Amino acid sequence: MKNVLSKITDIVSDPYAFVGSVRERTGKKVIGCFPMHVPEELVHAAGMLPVVIWRSNEAVTWGHAHVPPYDCGITRSFVDDAVRGKLPFMDGMVFHVRQCLQAGEFPYIMEKNVKPAYQKNLYLPALYPGAATKDFTITELEVFKTSLEEFSGNKITDEKLKKSIEIYNLNRSLLERVYEIRREKPEILKAKEVMQIVWSSMLMPKEDHSKILTELISAMEAKEVIPDKTRIRVIPVGGLCQTIQTDILDLIEDLGMIIPDDDLYMGSRYFANKVSLDGDPVDALAKRYLTKSPLCPTKGVWDIHWGDEAIKRLKDNNAKGIISVVIKYCPPHACYYPDFKSKMDKEGINEIMIQVEHEIISLESVKTRLQTFVEIMGGV
């Protein structure tokens, strides 16, 4: 278990070097997929390596000549990485430009300053009523598929795509299993280790990642832990698109809380919902995108409530509180948050919000908020 976790830590500590080395080793083209909704399976089926674009841990410098400081962390950080030439291994980039307005920053900046060999904009629709929504989603995925075929020179047959879907579904199942064990034995992994496990899935070839997950799961199943019943169970919710600072996760645990489950993008949201292997595989990918739960505020859904999902998760895990992790300058989450908060208040659920920025935030203020939260919940 220690070896696997150590390997994962190495990968996420320097994703640039890691992804570059995979490209060199496999000879595969690397396609950066902006989180959260690009269907990686299509890239995989074209014989290329999809990686989910990440937020660096460096201060934004040149990037601020291209995007304002009031764009979110991953937008500024990714632009910064790109214009500083830190992404030479990224042969292509895919942006779902309808996810939020800031995703619309990338196409022009990249084509003007970075000129990746392949660049694609997806216009996946909001999940609105009507057959046009489903049909347009399928059209978009078909257009994406064709462009990947042209760039890679590889035809994406239904057979190949189904094989890729199988590989991705297996990885989802294994990540689910990691989470199941964590729910049973929350002390088994630190929260930051769990986040790194998911993050490494976004960076590694899925086949390789599934192998190390299999090893990890065996070790986790075998390991006995002594439950610490003094710790207060909490569920972090949000953190859309990007990694949150691991210091914050450590802080939550240092203050006597424990995280048995999460509703983070760099967490359970990433591997939620498998793709059906029945019927047309592009239709199946569309169906997964069109699934409303887990609710994503970027998708235009209002007939189910994110708060209800979070409360169910809280109750399923016998947790006492919810920590909303709102990325600073994330409009979809910011617009939703007041209603989420109201729902928590109405249902009598302990909830606190922490806002996370790309730059080093004041951990002291976060600590004070979290300490107060623990005290309210009856902890030390």
Partner 1 sequence: MDIKYKVNRLETTNEIRPLVDKHWEELRTAKERGEKVAWASGPTFIFAYAMGMKCHFMAGYSAYCGGIGAGEEVLKVAEMTGDLPETCSYHRLHMGMAEAVARDIPINPQAILPMPDLMVAGRLCPEMSHYAEGLSRRFGIRVLPVDLPSVYNIEDAPRIREFVYRQFKEVVIPTVEDVCGKPFDYDRMSEILSVLKKVATLRNQCWEFFKEKPSRWTLWDYGVSIAPVFYMMGNPAGITYYEKLLKELQERKKNNIPAIAPEGEKYRLYWDGWLPWAFLGKFMRKFTPHGAVCICGRYPWEFFPNPELIDPENPVESWADLYYGKGQLIHHFSPRGTVDLIGELIEDYSIDGLLMFSSKTCRIMNLSQPDIIDTLDKKYGVPGVIVEGDMIDPAMISDSQIETRLEALYEMIDSRRK
- Distance of closest approach, residue 111 Cβ to partner 1, in angstroms: 8
Give the residue, chosen from 20, 107, 205, 379, that forms a contact with partner 1 under the rule CB under 8 A. 107
Tell me the CA distances in angstroms from 109 to 80, 118, 124, one per residue in order. Answer: 11, 14, 21
Give the residue, chosen from 34, 270, 271, 337, that forms a contact with partner 1 under the rule CB under 8 A. 337
Rounded Cα distance, 143 and 122, in Å: 9
Q: Does 147 engage in binding with partner 1 (CB under 8 A)?
A: no
Tell me the CA distances in angstroms from 235 to 108, 274, 349, one per residue in order. Answer: 38, 23, 12
Residues 125 to 144: which contact partner 1 by CB under 8 A?
125-126, 128-133, 135-136, 139, 143
Contact 284, 39 (CB under 8 A): no
Residues 221 to 280: which contact partner 1 by CB under 8 A?
none
Half-sphere exposure of 119 (CA within 13 A, CB side): 13
- Distance of closest approach, residue 157 Cβ to partner 1, in angstroms: 23
Part of the chain binding partner 1 (CB under 8 A), chosen from 95-103, 174-182, 187-195, 261-269: 95-103
Q: 335 or 360, CB closer to partner 1?
A: 335
Omega before 220 cis (within 30°)?
no
Q: 16 or 123, CB closer to partner 1?
A: 123
Rounded Cα distance, 83 and 69, in Å: 16
- Determine the distance from the C-alpha atom of residue 21 to the mean position of all C-alpha atoms in its chain, rounded to a whole number: 22
Query: Residues in contact with partner 1, total (CB under 8 A)?
Result: 52
Part of the chain binding partner 1 (CB under 8 A), chosen from 109-117, 228-236, 278-286, 312-320: 109-117
Q: Does 100 engage in binding with partner 1 (CB under 8 A)?
A: yes
Q: 80 or 261, CB closer to partner 1?
A: 80
List Cβ neighbours of 332 (8 Å cut-off, separation of 6 or more). Answer: 99, 100, 240, 296, 297, 298
Tell how strand 350-356 and strand 257-258 pair up: unpaired
- Which tokens go with 339? 């209603």
Give the residue, chosen from 13, 61, 218, 342, that forms a contact with partner 1 under the rule CB under 8 A. 342
Q: Does 85 engage in binding with partner 1 (CB under 8 A)?
A: no
- Taking alpha carbons only, the member of 58, 97, 50, 104 closest to residue 77 is 58
Residues contributing to the site for partner 1 (CB under 8 A): 65-68, 70-71, 97-102, 104-105, 107-109, 112-113, 121, 123, 125-126, 128-133, 135-136, 139, 143, 297-298, 300-302, 305, 326, 328-329, 331-332, 334-339, 341-342
